[in-house]
Amino acid sequence: MSVTVQITPGSPVPAVRAVAEAVLQELTARPELFEARARERSNCPSGANGGELGQLQRGETVPEFDKAIFEDATIGVLPRLVATRHGFHVIAVDQRIAGKQVPLDLAREEVAAELRRRSEARALSQYVRMLAAGAEIEGVDLDAATSPLVQ
């Protein structure tokens, strides 16, 4: 579960951090209020669901969020704010489920489909970046590539 206090363009970062830290202090002392505070304070769409993010696996969130939830064995409210490009997050982990290694024969099709999906997404991204390099667009950075050797 997460309460996200979002940083928007022009918002004073110290004030946003102060709000998030106040929420963290309150929820560390009274974790039973997490769902209510997520509904009241979170700028993330999950706030409408009481901060519920569902079951997460590595790589499904931004790296800072991933690191916070997977490199700490804490159950409950994590003891620190997590800063990401989206804002400051107060995170609570309800449960941890140990992963299981699956024989390749059972996972082969899913692995192949995932690798194909990632390859197609990378190719599409590179194609769009090449198109952007040839376009005249003002007021937005499209992360254009000037070479077909895009990583």
The secondary structure of 62-125 as a DSSP string is -HHHHHHHHS----EE-SS-EEETTEEEEEEE----------HHHHHHHHHHHHHHHHHHHHHH
Same domain, 52 and 108: no
Name the pTM for this structure.
0.66
Domain count, the chain: 2
Same domain, 33 and 104: no
Position 149 scores a pLDDT of: 59
Same domain, 119 and 74: no
From first to last of the 151 residues of the chain, give the pLDDT tens digit: 878 788 778 888 898 899 999 999 999 999 999 999 999 988 888 888 898 998 888 888 999 999 999 988 889 999 999 999 888 999 999 999 888 888 999 999 999 999 999 999 999 988 888 888 888 777 766 666 666 555 5
Position 21 scores a pLDDT of: 94
Position 143 scores a pLDDT of: 67
Same domain, 11 and 47: yes
The CATH code of the domain that includes 68 is 3.10.50.40
Same domain, 149 and 121: yes
